[in-house]
Structure 1
Amino acid sequence: MRPITMRGVLLLAGALLAWAPFPAQAQGLAPVFQRVNGSVVVVRAKGRDLTVQNGASVLVKFHEVGSGVLVSADGKVLTAAQVVAAESGADLALLQLARVPAGIKPAVLGDSARVQVGEQIFVVGAPYGIAHTLTVGYLSARHKPNTIYAETPLAEFLQTDAAINQGNSGGPMFNLQGEVIGIVSHIISKSGGFEGLGFVVSSNMARQLMLEKRPFWTGVTWFRISGELAEYLNLPQPFALAVEEVAKKSPAEAVGLLPSRVVAQLEGKHVPMGGDIVLAAMGIRLDNDASFDKIRERWSKLRSGDEMTFRVLRSGRVMELKGRVL
C-alpha cells in the first residue's frame, strides 16, 4: 500500500465565530450539514478548484501555495489571497484574503482532543470536482506525529473510514456539533482509490502550527535527502534538502533557488532531480532534522529587509545564495 496525497486545500483560520452546539441526535445530520456548508468555499490555485472553510484568513494545503491564489464563495466572484505563513512538515499554509466574500459563515475550529475513536464524523469536500459533497464515517484511530506519513512528520493524524477521493483533500472534517476537528490530507491505497483508510490533520495541530506559532513562508516544497539516498547522489554530507518546487513571488524565488526539473524513482521514493540541493541555510549546516528545525527557527524571526542565505549544490558546484526578505 502507498500513501496518496490528495491535492487540495485545508482549513480556515482567522476570527472564528462560535455558536452553541446542539445535540446531534436531536437535530439529525442534515441540519448540521446545512449549517456548516455555508463555511465551505472554493480556492483556485494552479488552476485547480479546491474547497476550504472560510474566515478572514484561510489555511491551505502547502503544495498548492503559490502566486495567483483566488478564493470564491459562489463560484463566480473571486477574491485574491496571499500567503502569510506555511509549514511543509504538516503540509499547511496560511492565506490572508484581500476581503471576506459576502455571505460567508466562519466555521468553528473545534478541539480535536475531545473526539473519541468510534464517534461519527463527516467530511465536506469536492471529490472529482463535485463541490459541497458530504461523506459520513467514523473516527477509526488517532496517530501521533511522525508515525504515518514521512513527508509530513509534524502532523498529528486522525484516521477515518469516511469516503475520501481526489478533490477531498483540504476539505474540513466535522464532528456532529458542526465543529471542524480535522483537515483532509491523504489516503493509503493499493488501487489508487478509496479503501477505507483516510487521514486528516487534527484541528489542534493545525491551530498550534499555523495560528499560535505562525511559521515563516519560504515558498519552497522541500524533499529530505538522507542515508543511502544521500550516498547515491554523492552529496558531501549525510543530510540535505532538495528543492522540489518554488512558488512565484516567494522569498525563495527572490533569493534564486531553483526547483527540480524531473522526478526519478530511487529506493522506492519519487525524488525531485535537477534543482538545487540545500546544504546549509542561515549559516547552519544541515546535518539532520534537528538542524533544519534550528534553521526554521531562524526563519521565523525574519522581518522585511532581513537577509536570507543558502549554500546549495547546483550542477555539481557548491554556491552561496543571498537575498532580502521583501
Structure 2
Amino acid sequence: MIKKIVSLCLILVVSIASFAQNLPSLYKKVNSSIVVIKTVNNVSAGKGDKQKVSTEGGLGSGVLISDDGLIWTASHVVHSADKVAVKFTDGDIYEAEVLSSNPLADVALIKVLGDFQLNKKHIAVIGNSDEMSIGEDIFVIGAPLGVEQTLTKGIISGRISPEKIGNDFAQVEYLQTDAAINQGNSGGPMFNMKGEVIGIASFILSQSGSSAGLGFGTTSNIAKKVLMDQPNLWTGMEFLILSDELAEVFNLPQEAGLLVLSVTSKGLGSKMGLRGGYMKAVIEGQEMLIGGDVILEVAGIQLNSSEGMKMLRNKMSTFKKGETYLVKYLRAGEVRMKAMLHK
C-alpha cells in the first residue's frame, strides 16, 4: 500500500513538473499567433439626439489561423466596429475587415487587409474541443486590461450548456475554466497542452467585474462550424430580441422582432438603411439604447429567434447577384418595407 502511495506521488510530481516545463516552450511556440485587436465604434451619444454620435474604442484579442491573414476572435469585440486594427508580436499592424460574425455563439472571423506578411508568425492549429475532458490543463493568451501577451493557466472546470447560465446565451456549448480571464482577453485563444486552439475566450461570471475563476470560452468545434463551415454573414448590428412582455411594450405587430440597438457604417444593417437607438433606457434592469428600428422580416423570414437568424444566413447564401429581397421593419410605429439588391 505504501509503495502504491509513493508511486502515485511520484506520478503527480512528474506530471506537475512536465506541465511546468512544457508551458514555457508552448508559449514560445504559439504566442506569435496572438493578436491585439483595437476597434473604433461610432455610436449614438445616447442623449435623445438622433444625429449626435460619439466615438468609442474597443480592445480584444484574436488568433491567426491561416497564412493569408484569417483571424478568429469574439463577436462582441468586432461586431459593431467601424474600424478594426490588429497588432502582432513582431510589431506588424494591419487594418482588418469583418468577414463573419455570430453574436449568438460570440465568435467572429476577420481578415487582414493589404499585403499580409507572414514572416515568422505562427499559424495556430485548431484542435478538437470534443476531446477535452474536465480536469485537463489549458492556457490562455491575450491582452487583459491592455497588458499584451499575458499568459494565464488553469484547467477545464466544466462544460456548460446555455440553459445553465441564462436564456440570453446561444444554444452552444462553452468550456469553463479557472484560468484568469479579464476584459481584453475576449477573443483570445484557449490552448490545450498540445498548443492547439480548443476555445475562444468569451465571457466571465463575476460580481466584481474582474476574474473570479469563472471564465468561459466558445468551443473550437462550434467556432469552426459557424465561421468556416457556414456562409459568411456580418450584419454589423447590435440587437435585442423583443418577445413576450417586451414585444407588447414596444407594440409590435407580431409576436417578436429584433430591436436594433446600434448599426455600424459597414455590414448588412447599413446596406439595409436601418437605424440604431439614440436614447438610453433601463428596462427590467437591462440598459439599452431605444428608438431604433425593429426588424420584423427579411426575405420572408421572421427574425424573432436565433433559429430565424440561422435560416436567414442559409437563405442568403443561395441568393444570386442581382436578386432582390424585402426587408420589413417597424420605425416610429410605422411598418415599412424596403427592397434590397443582393450584391
Q: Which of the numbers 5, 28, 32 marks the counterpart of 2:22?
A: 28
Aligned-residue Cα RMSD (Å) equals 2.2
What does 1:112-261 correspond to in 2, within 5 Å?
112-145=129-162, 147-261=164-278
Aligned residue identity for 1:213: Q
Q: Which runs of no fewer than 5 residues in structure 1 stay unpaired?
A: 1-22
Alpha-carbon shift at residue 234 of structure 1 (Å): 1.7
Structure 1 residues 149, 297: CA separation in 2 closer, same or farther (over 3 Å shift)?
Answer: farther
Aligned residue identity for 2:145: Y
Paired residue for 1:9?
none
Give a deviation string over 1:215-244, Cα, whole Å, max 9, x none: 422222221111111112222222110112
Matches of 1:177 and 1:292 in 2, distance apart? Answer: 35
Contact kept? 1:88, 1:222, Cα under 8 Å: no
Matches of 2:236 and 2:342 in 1, distance apart? Answer: 12
Contact kept? 1:61, 1:92, Cα under 8 Å: yes
Alpha-carbon shift at residue 25 of structure 1 (Å): 4.3
Aligned residue identity for 2:254: Q
% of aligned pairs identical?
37
Alpha-carbon shift at residue 134 of structure 1 (Å): 0.6
Q: Which runs of no fewer than 5 residues in structure 2 stay unpaired?
A: 1-16, 41-56
Contact kept? 2:324, 2:341, Cα under 8 Å: yes
Matches of 1:236 and 1:210 in 2, distance apart? Answer: 33
Alpha-carbon shift at residue 287 of structure 1 (Å): 5.2
SS at match of 2:141: strand
Aligned residue identity for 2:270: E
Aligned residue identity for 1:301: T
What does 1:53-68 correspond to in 2, within 5 Å?
53-54=63-64, 55=66, 56-63=69-76, 64-65=78-79, 66-68=81-83
Alpha-carbon shift at residue 249 of structure 1 (Å): 2.5
Paired residue for 1:6?
none
Contact kept? 1:143, 1:156, Cα under 8 Å: yes
Structure 1 residues 290, 231: CA separation in 2 closer, same or farther (over 3 Å shift)?
Answer: same
Structure 1 residues 272, 297: CA separation in 2 closer, same or farther (over 3 Å shift)?
Answer: farther
Matches of 1:301 and 1:288 in 2, distance apart? Answer: 21
User: Stretches of 4+ moved more than 6 A in 1?
Assistant: none
Matches of 1:69 and 1:286 in 2, distance apart? Answer: 27
Paired residue for 1:262?
279
Relative to the length of structure 1, the TM-score reads: 0.85
Structure 1 residues 238, 154: CA separation in 2 closer, same or farther (over 3 Å shift)?
Answer: same
Aligned residue identity for 1:30: P
Alpha-carbon shift at residue 294 of structure 1 (Å): 2.7
Deviates further, 179-188 or 245-254: 245-254
Pair 1:38-2:29 in alignment: no
Aligned residue identity for 1:200: G
Structure possessing the higher radius of gyration over alpha carbons: 2
Matches of 1:305 and 1:80 in 2, distance apart? Answer: 29
Pair 1:317-2:339 in alignment: no
Aligned residue identity for 2:70: S
Matches of 1:140 and 1:220 in 2, distance apart? Answer: 33
